[in-house]
A and B are shown apart, each in its own frame.
Chain A
């Protein structure tokens, strides 16, 4: 090879080395100086933001004892990418997490769909199990602070509501929530969700490639601390609520007690109820389904949702309207011979009454709960010539009844409330093709027929009478942490269309019913001047027993307040298929009043008797049989 050729080749080779150098430096220049995406990628590699969940606010009762507490628990999360490829002891992990290895495997399979993203393996890990998990440190798994509900008295299932995960609809509706957040469902939890939930925080931490936390990013300068939910003081009297629930056990119905001078709800029982702890944690799904399948509908809050005929308790309203309209004077007497006969000729019909002396004046009629008396009153109200027609009379009557809070939501802070129903002339026009008269609607006189009320509306009626003509919106919350006052609507007196002067007569009748002679004698409490009105509501429920069609027994109701002057408690007890009002509803109401007013029970044997009374619910048993049979078929 020539010398010149050698030099050329040496040169070329150096050029090649130069090119290699230039290409490497050029690429490095691009990667390190020009392309700035790597900075962000490096940051997102090591930094992960993690939602910091707040402690949910607690709920206290009016005496300051806990109805709902929050306890610490943990979500177990996984980033499958960070699980060692060599595998790990799945059986051990499953046992720490208190799940089956099959369930763990299933969850890991699901998590593998997006291997970089954190995935919730299982929630509600106890603090002890969390410590164990930390100790054994499974790569790829970590825990997240959450809180779960705890119920010291295990009362008030429907009243308190429960906490669940937000569903798809809620996620769409409210931007505040992200998947996996908790939200209050039903009861106080849902009514005061915004106050109870607190504010989520966020923390930025540094993670190594195995998913282990290596420290805080930027010493936590960007972190936002979660804010604990507000504490709520409820108007409920926990002790009284528990007592009422015990009295209502094995009975279907509702109890609502209100403090008339404030509208604060002291007791709200919907029976059957359930232990709220059942709807916490991992067993919630199963417990929920079980409750859902129970045809006595423990998840249905009868206290504010049920549509019960008010029965004779409604006679109080009828009397008050009569007095206000001037078609009735307290001294007016009406005859009753085992009922009220109306209609003519072959349409002749009779609305039955029980046996009592006759004729009666208004006070006596209230005390004795005479059906006929209030048929006369009702007829006089709606056929008042002043209004020209029965239709217009009924419209006026509807106006009065509505002013007592019937046929509409009371506007409580309780979200589950339903309206009940007060018939309008249009309703009867519609149903009877415009052909109806006072006789068609006469059963409204005694709270039967089309009238439908919620127990809370009836308890509110008791409060109205106790207040002689007005009510405060019944509400469940007394105080929210950090707030001076509740919503202004709870401080407003809502007057009925009946003047307060008319109430004394009715109250006198109610007092007589308990203290002199009448249907409510069992409610007598010495020295407390209890006033009350029983109700026995017919219903159309039918069921079959051994193939024989049967009618379900009447509902038993009792509306009461005490004492007569400066009343402290107004109460409504409604027991489905409890028979006569005096049979079961009166003693329950009376015992609750005794407990509330005197702090003691002087009739322990009555308490035992009531607690142990197990009503026979042929109707519900039949429904359950049918339901179970249909589920089995599926």
Chain B
């Protein structure tokens, strides 16, 4: 791989911009543009006459956008080898910043995740994301790396877990979870299903265990696994009647004995699992072992979930509980989502028009120019506007993936995928929270939310990807 770099001296600098992906660049500029428009509307002050004062949010953001463009331009001009070269130092600096903010940082909304320099707030995690993406790309692109080998996996896990741990310590779990989106990248890099499937299954169990009662989960799982077993092998179909009886018995036990329904069900499930296991061995059906293992795992995991949950901070518990509708918290998290939904919902098909959103204008939407900036789009431009924005993001994500695919080297590909994964996670969680699909996590809408450091970080993140892609293209010319 290194040998290829020797040819780069033949680069013609005047054709470099010809190789920059225009689509990605246009999408980036479009998103920053609508972001500034939305901030203008969200920050509109009915009392201040002039819209061009520097104290206005949209003017500040405009300055930040200009600065970001300059930085972006510089990045595009940089030699891509620098990214590879500096990924490790960048990672170290990133980790250092995270630790520093943990010690010297400023607490905002309960999270100690901010530096403040003369009125400008910077969230180091924004930059740590870039560093981690670079570091991950570097590790995966190493010669000796094999994603399905244990020591490689440990490396990956370590690279992700280190910043994640510090971010959780900062009490900024929402931002930390972004790093989990790298699973998306690892899947592309061929991680075995024996790893990703249990992880996905665990996440699935984690979510459903909050929404539904354990009784229901086990009953559904029991039926699902039996149905699966029956479909996989006809031989077991004959025993289904027996299992159905067991199920009935469990319900009877649940109703008649002093045992709680939960305990009774656990007993029945245990018996069912034992029988399944017995049959799997007896009939030498290996494929039955998988559902069996999952089932046993679920039985162990769901009760553990409760314990884990009780370890969470009260505000985190609140957010999750409110999200799954188990706890009403007027004027709290629920209130934010309600107001957000009202703003977006009242936008209708075409919206109320620029600067005409009443919920925005009269302050009903909390954090309307930062985390809930999407409400401005929803209320003022309606479904037309929200669709347009979502499609811009999706197009950018798909474009980044495509860029990753066409870069021959692993480093560029992994990095592009990392950027796509980060964007996908942000869009999903941020938009999802404004329309009540996700719990409220304090993460911004990339490129659009008000905040200079966030805009700068996402610009760097994306520009590196474009740069990597551009120089790879040039090389192939």
Contact = CB atoms under 8 A, between A and B. Distances in A.
Contacts of B187: 9, 12-13
Nearest to A44: B342
A18 B359 CA distance: 31
Interface string B342-359: 111111110000000011
A244 B342 CA distance: 67
Interface residues of A, number: 39
Interface string B378-390: 1000110011001
B161 to A, nearest CB: 23
B137 to A, nearest CB: 17
B461 interface: no
A31 B345 contact: yes
Contact of A32 (B189, B364, B378, B398): B378
A21 B428 CA distance: 8
B190 A46 contact: no
A5 interface: yes
B362 interface: yes
Nearest to B437: A27
Contacts of B391: 21
A38 B382 CA distance: 12
Contact of A14 (B345, B364, B398): B398
A43 B363 CA distance: 14
A10 B401 CA distance: 8
Given A9-B187, A10-B405, A20-B424, A25 B342 contact: no
Nearest to B346: A42
B362 A17 contact: no
Interface stretch (A202-210, A222-230, A333-341): A202-210
B362 A28 contact: no
B346 to A, nearest CB: 4
A210 B362 CA distance: 9
Given A14-B398, A32-B347, A81-B331, A6 B190 contact: yes
Interface in B384-423: 386-387, 390-391, 394, 397-398, 401, 405, 420
A583 to B, nearest CB: 73
B341 interface: yes
B333 to A, nearest CB: 15
Q: Which of B184, B386, B391 has the most C-beta atoms of chain A within 10 angstroms of its own C-beta?
A: B386
B443 interface: no
Given A32-B348, A38-B342, A46 B358 contact: yes
A103 B358 CA distance: 36
Interface in A42-60: 42-43, 45-46
Contacts of B397: 17
A37 B435 contact: no
A548 interface: no
Given A9-B190, A209-B363, A24 B435 contact: yes
B46 interface: yes
A43 B436 CA distance: 20
Contacts of A210: 363
B342 A41 contact: yes
A42 B401 contact: no
A28 B188 contact: no
A39 interface: yes
A375 B190 CA distance: 128
B378 to A, nearest CB: 7
A195 B394 CA distance: 68
Contacts of B364: 45-46, 208-209
B297 to A, nearest CB: 24
B431 interface: yes
B427 interface: yes
Interface string A102-141: 0000000000000100000000000000000000000000
Given A28-B344, A32-B386, A33-B349, A206 B401 contact: no
A42 B436 CA distance: 17
Contacts, number: 118
A214 B46 contact: yes
B390 A25 contact: yes
B303 interface: no
A209 to B, nearest CB: 4
B424 A32 contact: no
B401 A17 contact: yes
A545 interface: no
Contacts of B394: 17-18, 20-21
A486 interface: no
B349 to A, nearest CB: 6
A89 B418 CA distance: 52
B165 interface: no
A46 B359 contact: yes
Q: Pick the most buried of A6, A33, A45: most chain B CB atoms within 10 A of its CB.
A: A45
B325 interface: no
A219 interface: no
A39 B184 contact: no
A207 B424 CA distance: 37
Interface in A363-413: none
A80 to B, nearest CB: 10
Contacts of A13: 184, 187-188, 401
Contacts of B363: 208-210
A91 interface: no
A10 B348 contact: no
Contacts of B387: 25, 28
B428 A24 contact: yes
Nearest to A209: B363
Given A20-B427, A28-B387, A42 B342 contact: yes
A38 B341 contact: yes
A1 B391 CA distance: 31
Contact of B359 (A12, A20, A35, A42): A42
Nearest to A207: B362
A23 B358 contact: no
A1 B46 CA distance: 60
Contacts of A207: 362
Nearest to A13: B188
A568 B327 CA distance: 79
B432 interface: yes
A206 B362 contact: yes
Nearest to A17: B397
A6 B394 CA distance: 21
A62 B437 CA distance: 73
A32 B386 CA distance: 10
A9, A16, A32 — which one has the most chain B CB atoms within 10 A of its CB? A32
Nearest to A85: B331
B344 A1 contact: no
Nearest to B428: A20
Contacts of A501: none
A209 B184 CA distance: 41
A29 interface: yes
A289 to B, nearest CB: 40
30 contacts: A1-B189, A13-B188, A17-B397, A17-B398, A17-B420, A20-B394, A20-B428, A21-B391, A25-B386, A28-B344, A28-B378, A28-B386, A28-B387, A28-B435, A29-B383, A32-B345, A32-B378, A32-B386, A33-B349, A35-B345, A39-B345, A39-B346, A39-B348, A41-B342, A41-B346, A45-B339, A45-B358, A208-B361, A208-B363, A210-B363
Interface of A: 1, 5-6, 9-10, 12-14, 16-18, 20-21, 23-25, 27-29, 31-33, 35, 37-39, 41-43, 45-46, 81, 115, 206-210, 214
Interface of B: 46, 184, 187-190, 331, 339, 341-349, 358-359, 361-364, 378, 382-383, 386-387, 390-391, 394, 397-398, 401, 405, 420, 424, 427-428, 431-432, 435-437
Enumerate the 9 nearest inter-chain pairs by beta-carbon distance, A residue then B residue, closest first.
A38-B345, A42-B346, A1-B190, A208-B362, A32-B383, A209-B363, A21-B394, A38-B346, A41-B342
Given A23-B437, A45-B339, A207-B362, 20 more contacts: A9-B190, A10-B401, A10-B405, A12-B187, A14-B398, A17-B398, A21-B394, A24-B428, A24-B437, A27-B436, A27-B437, A28-B435, A31-B436, A32-B348, A32-B349, A32-B378, A33-B348, A35-B345, A45-B364, A208-B364
